[in-house]
Amino acid sequence: MPRLFPPIGYMFRDERLLEAALTHRSCVCECFARAGGEEHDNQRLEFLGDAVLELFISEYLFSLRPRLSEGAMSRARACFVCEGKLAEIARNIGLGEHLVISQPEDNSGGRCKSSLLADALEALLGAVFLDGGPEETRSLIMKLWSPYLSVCSESPPAISDYKTALQELTQRKGLGLPVYSLSNTVGPAHQPTFFISVRVGSRPPATAMAHSKKEAAQNAAKILLRDLMDEEAAGAAARDAAQERLPAAGRSSRDCGEEREAQAVRVSPEARDGKAACGGQSGLDRCGGREGPED
């Protein structure tokens, strides 16, 4: 039966989709189990919502700035679809108070956890997509993300989640997923300094430090991301320069060919005259000479 969900102002035609989107995996109860293998929690809807969100944010960025490069669009999209931004929007609409979670998860502050809120918002988008279709989902995303997208219309946002941006770049380039590791911990127990390294494929790792592992990982991702982006920009510049040289080289080749042909036309009468005067021999042969250096 239809059910209105006030935080997003959307009327669900199938309330079971809404129930599934709001149900965390820590609280899969029989009351939410449905016959025929339907959703018990929001994990599968989260997967769908993640893809739907990336699609419509990508579409917006593509239409916003026709001259925006692929790299710039990827970096902007990473800011809009990262966990931090999703959690912020989820808090803005009060999504946490509507979630169905286990008592232990609730006691540990689960309704305020960024990861849980971000997953739930993605699941909600997936549910709207199944319930109302792409146009309803696009409209909802534009409404929820409009304060942030309006800023992007003036200038591309700075990267706020370097780990997400790094992962998107490495996947696009086919380099595999970044691997993070704790390389060292120094300092007193009450204020340790963590050294986190991140590696992609066979590249040398990038290492950074901070007083929290999360911040150190972000700093390491930032270093490696900048290196990869610099390499990508240098490669693009080299390709552009090569393409610019190709037409010029083509014109030079044609010009040289035409010049050689013109020279041949100008020399031909003289060559014919020389051969005629010597009975078919060239001028050098007639004088006992050679046309080229001795072998």
pLDDT of amino acid 76: 82
**Of 264, 265, 281, nearest in space to 273 by CA:** 281
Top pLDDT among 239 and 57 is at 57
List the structure tokens of 79. Answer: 């800011």
Domain ranges for the chain, please list them. 1-161, 172-283
Residue 132 · residue 10 · CB < 8 Å:
yes
pLDDT of amino acid 232: 74
Q: Where residue 241 falls among pLDDT bands split at 50, 70, 90?
A: confident
Mean pLDDT to the nearest integer, 77-85 = 85
pLDDT of amino acid 70: 79
Top pLDDT among 78 and 139 is at 139
Q: Where residue 268 falls among pLDDT bands split at 50, 70, 90?
A: very low
Mean pLDDT to the nearest integer, 98-116 = 91
CATH topology of domain 1-161: Ribonuclease iii, N-terminal Endonuclease Domain; Chain A (1.10.1520)
Mean pLDDT to the nearest integer, 90-118 = 93
Whether the pLDDT of residue 281 is over 60: the answer is no
Residue 230 · residue 210 · CB < 8 Å:
no
Which residues are identified as catalytic? 50, 122
Lowest pLDDT segment from 8-22, 88-102, 132-146, 275-289: 275-289
pLDDT of amino acid 292: 43
pLDDT of amino acid 158: 59
Task: List, for residues 132-190, the tens digit of each pLDDT value.
Answer: 999 999 999 999 998 888 766 555 555 667 888 888 888 878 889 999 999 999 998 88
Task: List, for residues 22-74, the tens digit of each pLDDT value.
Answer: 999 888 654 444 444 455 789 999 999 999 999 999 999 888 766 777 777 88
pLDDT of amino acid 29: 52
Top pLDDT among 224 and 288 is at 224
- Fold equal for 1-161 and 172-283: no
Whether the pLDDT of residue 17 is over 70: the answer is yes
Lowest pLDDT segment from 121-130, 174-183, 188-197, 280-289: 280-289
CATH topology of domain 172-283: Double Stranded RNA Binding Domain (3.30.160)
Whether the pLDDT of residue 87 is over 80: the answer is yes
pLDDT of amino acid 152: 62
- Mean pLDDT (the chain, rounded): 79
Label the pairing between strands 179-186 and 10-12: unpaired
